[in-house]
Structure 1
Amino acid sequence: MSRLCCALPVAGHALRDVEGDGRFCLEFDDAAESCLFIEGPFFLSAGGEVEGFVPPHAEWVQDVLLSLIGVRVEFARYDRNSSLRIKFADGRELFVPDGPFEDWHYSNNTGTRLHGGLVVSAECIKGHAAQRPVVSAQPSPWSLSVLARVDDARRGAASAKARATASGHDRHRRGTLPRHEARRARLEPCWRRSGAPRSRVRRGSR
């Protein structure tokens, strides 16, 4: 009989954001605004490869989780020993094993509160320890490929922002900015020199 017996109500929804560093908060796009907090070790598998992450986490670990944003959840289940497994539509799986502490927490805006690690047996801990892969302090080749995609996306966003900023400066030089934007640009040096808030600059000042 399968040990997976209970489900988190996030199936069919996608990951919306990931916040935090030592304590990750995974936010989903469902109407209940589901949040999953991960405070202990977790594992991510893809294509037959499994990588483990143990706190304290390096900064790049958050980028690995950020690569899951926009991916739909197929199921999110936890067993009687509080081991949590989330399968995503792209085949990746996130696994948070049971442990001696509450390694994961779930909450939403309807008042639902669930906590992992509350019912743990020594036998279950021993069984999971035998199955856990070697955990490295450095990203694996698979994680490096994920991080490369995240970096590419960030560079693309930064480049688009730089192009938009440059376009605005060019419009200002050509005198094609709308009147209110041109006036704001003309007064900006005054605010910076005086240190005064914008509300103190008198209307019509040059």
Structure 2
Amino acid sequence: MGSHFTVVYDACVLYPAPLRDLLMHLALSDLHRARWSERIHDEWTRHVLASRPDLTREQLQRTRDLMNAHVRDCLVTGFEHLIPSIQLPDADDRHVVAAAIHSGASLIVTFNLKDFPPEALKPYNLVAQHPDDFIVDLLDLHPASVLEAAARHRRSLKNPPKTADEYLDTLLAQGLTQSVALMRPWTVAL
């Protein structure tokens, strides 16, 4: 294992698939330790099923199983006793903080920054970060490894395959504006 830097992926960054898949490829690069819980899985799959009636529970279970099988030590368990003591604007998000505390994470990757205000996370030595900022930070620290993870992700796309520019446009649509701006000059590496 390369890094001891541990992050929890919130459910909202695990759908739609393009962002989830990039985050999985980054997790496999050993630049950080990615963590989530079955409860986080339940949340993102519930939202996908509600918005994508063409997908089945079985298909999403296969995705969950692949995520759990390929990212080393990703599943956080045994954190539930911490949930009642956590104070957040939305009590439904306490399980994410509890999983982060229990796994020794220092960061929660989420789009929902307002649900994880700095003053609420400070007592737990946690910070919430937008996925674009998270990827930019990784690019700053390990540009070659991040570009290689993105290239592996792009090469894995078969239906349909994407050119480097099409791939970056897909990431742009996921809200990764800064990350795409930094990667665009390196399309030859993607």
TM range (shorter): under 0.3
**Greater fraction strand:** 1
Which structure dedicates a bigger proportion of its chain to helix? 2
Given the two structures, how large is their TM-score scaled by the length of structure 2? 0.28
TM-score (norm 1): 0.26
